[in-house]
Amino acid sequence: MKIYQWWDASVPNSHILNYKWRERCTNSSIFNKGNILPFDCGYTERLNTLQDPKDYDLIYHAEISEEKLKGYACMPNNGQAPLVNQKVLDMLLELCPDEFQYFPVTIVGENPKHPPFENHDYFLINICQTVDGIDKEQSDIVYFDNGDVRDIKNLILKKDMRHFCISRLKNSLVDIVVSETVVKAFKKTKINGVKFELLGETTFVE
């Protein structure tokens, strides 16, 4: 079993969409917890976790032209979750419909050098689960004083990790992890805007 990390592709900074969370109704951090939304996070300052999804106010700003934007299947961004087009969404719905939610987003052009536009072709992917896959005894983990993971110098994964296609790795700096099935599907259809990295020289233990 091979596990991969999902990364945005390396692109020029001007191609990265900007989510101005201070101006929006939703702090994008609610999408990196592996929770099904709406979700009561227990913090009164984040009541937006209980919003109806249609009220999430997910607006991203682009410096590139709409033509270049549409050239990406997965759109690199500074938010907390992947943005994908309909083609990628359909693929994920076929592979793992119960492992994520998707919310429509609005992308607006803000570069005066290009014609203004408002695009509605992309969706935010909210991953709805975490997988407890780190072998803490075998891995070399550095912690902050509060117990949060600061660094993992040698990541060892549990052999009995339950099956998943897309998840967040619990208690890790590694954010989104996907199965080999997802990687093969993306490569077969030549999806761009994303890259997958095999999780280091990891070893699966009993």
For residue 178, is pLDDT > 90?
yes
Is residue 37's pLDDT more than 50?
yes
Q: How confident is the model at residue 204 (pLDDT cuts 50, 70, 90)?
A: very low
Q: Give the lowest-confidence range in 5-14, 16-25, 48-57.
A: 48-57
Which of helix, strand or coil describes residue 105?
Answer: coil
In this prediction, residue 63 carries a pLDDT of 98
pTM of the model: 0.86
Instruction: Compute φ and ψ for 64, nearest 5 degrees.
Output: -85, 165
91 vs 140, residue with greater confidence: 91
For residue 64, the 8-state DSSP code is S
Percent composition of the chain: helix, strand, coil (DSSP 3-state, to 5): 20, 30, 50
Per-residue pLDDT at 125 = 95
Q: At 127, list the tokens.
A: 């991953």
The tens digit of pLDDT for each residue in 127-153 reads 999 888 888 888 888 888 877 778 877
Query: Residue 201's pLDDT band (boundaries 50, 70, 90)?
Result: very low
